[in-house]
Amino acid sequence: MPVVQNLDVRLLAETPDALSLIYAAFRQCYHAGFVGDMWPKLLSGEISQDKQAEFIEKVMQSGHDSPIEHVSFTFAISGVSRALTHQLVRHRIASYSQQSQRYVDAGGFGYIMPPAIAGIPEAKEVFESFMAHAEETYGKLQELLAHRGKKSNEDARFVLPNAAGSKIVVTMNCRSLIHFFELRCCMRAQWEIRALADLMLKECRMALPVVFAVAGAKCERLRYCPENAAFTCGKYPLLGQ
């Protein structure tokens, strides 16, 4: 029953011709003609990508960002806990496909150990003891429910901890991703999901910099902390200070 050491985030897919698609969507809002006729020019390079990016950046700076919803990114994620995925799936404008504890045998499950626990020998010992007990209990329940065949997993899983490792595929559109990054890249976000958000943001910035260059914690864009004095991390001044 190993400690899961490595968070792994891989960008599986993104909407093809993402830059041109966003440009076309933005242009249709302000263009008297039909962007369907413009599309071949975008793909051929007749309207350069630099020009497309410049237009997108300018319009987004005005606060108009709904057209970026037409582009989405799909990530494969492993090395995360069930505690993290319970937070992740609360971002509702997204699609999720998670490894099932009902159908996948969790015997010998890997688990995530919080750094704060790992750094205190006594806490680490208590934590590891509980993980071993959870694994043992899971196995005993599987044996007692063996007459149910593979269905034994669906009831034995009730004793699995939030620390149990999981794998998940996530698809979000660009607007949802920006909102996700604003909340989860913040220093007040829980450490595990913040690490995930940072890696996802890195992939997005490489794939579509015009949209994600200034994405991240909300304070990075605003240059002030939107929290109140009781919750600020102190990295940026509060509004009005």
Report the predicted TM-score, pTM, of the whole model to 2 decimal places.
0.93
115-137: average pLDDT: 97
Asked if 217 and 181 touch (Cβ cutoff 8 Å), the reply is: yes
In a domain, 223, yes or no: no
Distance in angstroms (rounded) separating the CA atoms of residues 169 and 167: 7
Which of 148, 157, 184, 221 is labelled catalytic? 184
Q: What is the dihedral of CA 197, 202, 203, 204, to 10 degrees?
A: 80
Say whether 10 is catalytic: no
pLDDT category at 184 given cuts 50, 70, 90 is very high
Residue 107 forms part of a structural domain:
yes
How many separate domains does the chain show? 1
Q: Look at residue 97 and tell me if it is in a domain.
A: no
Name residues whose C-beta falls within 8 Å of residue 203's C-beta, 6 or more positions apart in sequence.
9, 11, 73, 75
Is there a domain that residue 122 lies in? yes
Q: Does 54 map to a domain?
A: no
Cα separation of 150 and 152, whole Å? 5
- Residue 128 within any structural domain of the chain: yes
Q: Look up tokens 């991240």; give the residue.
A: 216
Whether 208 contacts 174, CB under 8 Å: yes
- Please report whether residue 112 resides in a domain: yes
No. of H helices and E strands in the chain?
Answer: 11, 4
Assess if residue 127 is contained within a domain: yes
pLDDT tens, residue by residue, 19-69? 999 999 999 999 899 999 999 999 999 999 999 999 999 999 888 899 999
Q: What percent of the chain has pLDDT over 90?
A: 83
What is the pLDDT, as a whole number, of residue 234?
Answer: 85
Task: Quote the domain boundaries for residue 155.
Answer: 102-163
pLDDT of residue 235: 87
Q: For residue 223, name the pLDDT band (cuts at 50, 70, 90).
A: confident
Residue 159 DSSP one-character state: G
